[in-house]
Amino acid sequence: MATAITLIADPKHDALTPALLTDIKKRLAPAINGGITVRKLAEGEALDLFCDVRDPKLLRIELRMCIAGKPIDFAIQTHALRKKKLLISDMDSTIIQQECIDETAALLGLKEKVAAITEQAMNGELDFREALAERVALLKGISTADLQRVYDEHITLTPGARTLVQTMNANGAATVLVSGGFTFFTRLVANATGFKEDHANRFDIENDTLTGLVLEPILDKDAKVSTLYDMLEKYNIQQSESIAVGDGANDIPMLKEAGLGVAYHAKEVVRKSVAQSI
């Protein structure tokens, strides 16, 4: 089977060395037919290994042995499906480094209380809908000007996020931000990164002030999967041609249904649910 193995590392660690590649080629030999072709994607940061695999299980075992203890992540895909046509991604703690609802709660001195609920929800320990309603109720009275201040002063993009989205766009892919958070923030983040679409929940707002309620319909884990399939149909893309990225329990179904699901700095329950993790 023609296979693409992608290795990813932080360049400051100098982990993707010629010595490592030599070791990988030697160790993987029993699991493949013929040799390995190397394609560098970014010096010291990412590269592809192309080979014909005859024993996928042995390949994964030997590859893990080669990079054990090293700051390297990897993904194994069918060569023909290496290039994706749809990127669908979670926002909080994925495309951005914070949880918007937690940072908003900080304005009321409630960050620790709300963050604890967020953590439990993202670990799959609380019902997402109930946890969302409980947290938003605590935000009653916050203004849209306050929300803008939260974004301007406390929200930062994850390093590489904009490059990821812009690269996918440049290669003709559809890029979609889908969040259990709120459209007030997803639209700002989508504009900052280049996502072509964004889908999220909506605050109930009266006179530029949050009422403490969330408008229906609620975008939860099932809605994220529905959005994935809607985007596949809208852009005429095969399921195998999609990549999904997320970190919380409400992302698991979406990650499992995508052609490639990537758990990014994810909760343990998420890492255990998908094959690829960063």
Q: Find how far residue 181's CA is from the centre of its chain.
A: 14
Is residue 117 within 8 A of residue 135, CB to CB? The reply is yes
Q: Which residues pair with 77 in a beta bridge?
A: 4
Pairing of strands 46-53, 276-277: unpaired
Is residue 241 within 8 A of residue 247, CB to CB? The reply is no
Residue 244 CA: distances (Å) to CA of 81, 107, 146, 178, 229: 14, 32, 31, 10, 12
Is 127 considered catalytic here?
Answer: no
Query: If we measure between CA atoms, which residue out of 185, 215, 217 comes closest to residue 202?
Result: 215
CA dist 274 and 252 (Å) reads 8
Phi, psi of 174 (to 5 degrees): -85, 135
Q: Is 145 exposed, middle or buried (0-12, 13-18, 19+ CB in 10 A)?
A: exposed
Q: Name 172's Cβ contacts closer than 8 Å, sequence gap at least 6.
A: 85
261: how many CB neighbours lie within 10 A of its CB?
Answer: 23
In the set 55, 73, 92, 251, the catalytic residue is 92
In the set 10, 14, 90, 222, the catalytic residue is 90
Q: Name 31's Cβ contacts closer than 8 Å, sequence gap at least 6.
A: 53, 54, 55, 56, 58, 59, 62
Is 204 considered catalytic here?
Answer: no
CA dist 87 and 250 (Å) reads 17
Catalytic residues: 90, 92
